[in-house]
Amino acid sequence: MLMQTHEARLSALREELKRRDLDGFVVPISDEHMSEYVGSYAQRLGWLTGFGGSAGSAIVLQHKAAMFVDGRYTIQVREQVDGNLFDYESTLETNHAKWLLANAQKGARIGYDAWLHSKGWADDLAAALSKKGVELVAVDGNPIDAVWIDQPAPSSDVAVIHEDAHAGQSSAEKRAQIADWLKEEELDAAVISALDSIAWMLNIRGTDVDRTPVALSYLIAHADGTAELFIAPEKVTPELEQHLGNAVTIRDRAEFTANLGTLSGKTVAVDPDFGVAAIYQALEAGGATAISVRDPAILPKAIKNPVEQQGHRDSQARDGAAVAKFLHWLSVEPSKGGQTELSAVAKLREFREQTGVLKDQSFDTISAAGPHGALCHYRVDEESNLDIEPGSVFLCDSGGQYLDGTTDITRTVWIKGPGDKAEPSAEVRDRYTRVLKGHIQIARAIFPQGTSGGQLDAFARQYLWEAGVDYAHGTGHGVGSFLGVHEGPQRIAKLSGGQPGTNQELFAGMILSNEPGYYKDGAFGIRIENLVLVEEQDIDGAEGTYLGFENLTWVPMARDMLDMSLLTAEEKQWWNDYHAKTQAILAPQLDGDVLAWLEDACQPI
């Protein structure tokens, strides 16, 4: 009989821990590649707790358990995880070490899966726990896998070729670039475990992870330009072998750990953010020297070449027309009643599929009606599904995966209602307009070479701060090219928040989101998101290189939610210029009622 309740699953895990002589176990959202989004087989935290967010963890002791989430999921975790089974802990206020020191008994043995955690995390936690005589133990096989009776198997789908016409650079050229870096750093090899880095280096894609087109694999890149790809045999086709050529040796994924042990005497680069503790342990056990250094593919992957840049422009224009059709639908159907968060997800997917070239969504659509808009990373399901009520705020954050680009857009709209609910409140207008003003400041920013995203973050928050409010997420993240919708190393976020990438210098060719927001618990949420491309600025008399942003996303914003008194003449001009270009890009792709709606939505203010 399958265990359907989370209480039964928690009980089964505790029995398994007893069998292994463990007093506790740490459960992250992670896979063997430290991916942000993971395959269904690796959704261990969700299976155990019911939590559906993309960032979080749990610790299970025999007498107590806790869920750890950041500010994005404070409300969501309480909706999805039973408070009778798990305490709720904020990662801003505590961490695994503090909680275990307060709750684990002296001499306790706490298990962890070395394939799901970084070496730094394991080393730091082990050192902290030793102060109380608590031992951190690497398990032989994940105990959740032992009790998850209907656990899905990893995907067996084949890996596919990502043509140079979309990649803009051959795999051989990329491998040569990495080989040159290894020689410069006097390294023999690099273990590449981040799935999107492997996909980028080899110009391959896959369907092994929902919403991210990657293939489960590992790569060892050598200083002579050769490489070894470790991938399940059933995923390899003759076409893939021909594409990779003689310089890439294909091996069974199951041989990866043993192969790490053959690098004796070699100096091997491992990215501490994506190389799990088990990789370090296998290298060191085999006599290799593991050097923690950033994955050499990450920065060149983030700096898009001209072909990738144009692909993004093309995919954004195509995606923008699909989103415009959806916004027109929102302006008509929900006010009649009978539409829900789930029906909106289906309708938006339908419009994107009408392009004929959609490969997947780039993430699960955030379709958030009314109070659900206050959950920054809300994901609707059958249990949480709300009606889209006339006279309310509706937030939709979504994206598509296309061969030529990855999109990510958020629009917040007012669902027209009757009588006194016909118009947005003064509070809604105020907050929407302050979010817009911050968005415009990022879009118009000019900054010298050497500036980091963290230095720009306050541009987006200043008008909200003036009103005594803020938002608990970053302002911008990197975006891949038919890869991850969240891609490092660049980021726009508070420097004080400790988020990776906030100190990363921005370079021309990087793509970021621009998405300030505001969230009122239990009432509504507002976010406006476009993607932007970092580009050099031509400034007469400039002393040095200056950068700014080219806007990539062209979709109308909600004019009926504006407080005109808060906008300056420059901001109104930005709005008008933006919507004039939006109409020029989208109008040739639309007709009938949708075109009429677009023309009205793009009227100047």
Pair 367, 426 in one domain: yes
Pair 432, 534 in one domain: yes
For residue 450, is it left (φ>0), alpha (ψ between -120 and 50) or beta? left
- Decide which of 501 and 528 is more confident: 528
Which tens digit of pLDDT belongs to each residue from 270-301?
A: 999 999 999 999 999 999 999 999 999 999 99
**Among residues of the chain, what percentage have pLDDT more than 70?**
99
Classify residue 155: in a domain, yes or no: no
DSSP E strands, 386-529: 392-398, 400-402, 405-406, 409-415, 447-448, 476-478, 487-492, 511-514, 517-520, 524-527
DSSP string, 326-375: HHHHHHHSGGGS--BHHHHHHHHHHHHHTTS---EESS--EEEEGGGGGS
Assign residue 498 the CATH number of its domain. 3.90.230.10
CA distances from 486 to 54, 231, 378, 407 (A): 12, 24, 16, 11
Q: What is the mean pLDDT of the chain?
A: 96
Tell me phi and psi for residue 512, to 5 degrees.
Answer: -135, 160
Which tens digit of pLDDT belongs to each residue from 465-498?
A: 999 999 989 999 999 999 999 999 999 999 875 5
pLDDT average, residue stretch 163-169: 98
Pair 278, 362 in one domain: no
Number of structural domains, the chain? 3
Is the pLDDT confidence value at 3 over 60? no
Assign residue 174 the CATH number of its domain. 3.40.350.10
Among 98, 119, 147, where does a domain finish? 147
DSSP E strands, 479-569: 487-492, 511-514, 517-520, 524-527, 530-536, 546-551
Pair 501, 588 in one domain: yes
Pair 131, 164 in one domain: no
Q: Among all chains, which residue has been given the structure tokens 């950068």?
A: 547
Q: What would the 3-class secondary structure string for 143-178 be?
A: HHHHHCCCCCCCCCCCCEECCHHHHCCCHHHHHHHH
Pair 57, 92 in one domain: yes
Classify residue 201: in a domain, yes or no: yes
- pLDDT value of residue 1: 40
Pair 327, 417 in one domain: yes
Classify residue 152: in a domain, yes or no: no
Among 125, 147, 169, where does a domain finish? 147
- pLDDT value of residue 145: 97
Q: Among all chains, which residue has been given the structure tokens 């476009």?
A: 530
pLDDT average, residue stretch 46-74: 92
Is the pLDDT confidence value at 16 over 90? yes
Q: Give 569's DSSP letter.
A: H
Which tens digit of pLDDT belongs to each residue from 543-562?
A: 999 999 999 999 999 999 99
pLDDT average, residue stretch 388-416: 97
- pLDDT value of residue 244: 97
Pair 198, 56 in one domain: no
**Among residues of the chain, what percentage have pLDDT more than 90?**
92
d(CA 470, CA 460) in angstroms, rounded, equals: 10
Residue-number span of the structural domain to which 542 is assigned: 303-601
CA 571 to chain centre: 30
Task: Name the token pair of 128.
Answer: 């902290």
Among 277, 294, 311, where does a domain finish? 294
Q: Give 220's DSSP letter.
A: E
Name the helix (H) or strand (E) containing 77.
helix 74-80
Q: For residue 412, give every residue at least 6 positions away whose Cβ sits within 8 Å of its Cβ, in sequence order, or none.
A: 373, 393, 394, 395, 396, 432, 525, 526, 527, 528, 558, 561
Pair 359, 505 in one domain: yes
Which tens digit of pLDDT belongs to each residue from 493-526?
A: 998 755 677 899 999 999 999 999 999 999 999 9
- pLDDT value of residue 499: 65
Classify residue 485: in a domain, yes or no: yes
pLDDT band of 37, cuts 50, 70, 90:
confident
Classify residue 463: in a domain, yes or no: yes
Classify residue 348: in a domain, yes or no: yes
Which tens digit of pLDDT belongs to each residue from 98-152?
A: 999 999 999 999 999 999 999 999 999 999 999 999 999 999 999 999 999 999 9
Is the pLDDT confidence value at 362 over 90? yes
Global pTM value: 0.93
Pair 468, 533 in one domain: yes
Classify residue 198: in a domain, yes or no: yes
Which tens digit of pLDDT belongs to each residue from 80-111?
A: 999 999 999 999 899 999 999 999 999 999 99
Pair 289, 313 in one domain: no
CA angle 354, 399, 71 (to 5 degrees): 155
Q: For residue 396, give every residue at least 6 positions away whose Cβ sits within 8 Å of its Cβ, in sequence order, or none.
A: 326, 330, 344, 348, 365, 366, 367, 368, 410, 411, 412, 413
Classify residue 154: in a domain, yes or no: no
Pair 278, 308 in one domain: no
Helix (H, G, I), strand (E, B) or coil at 578: helix
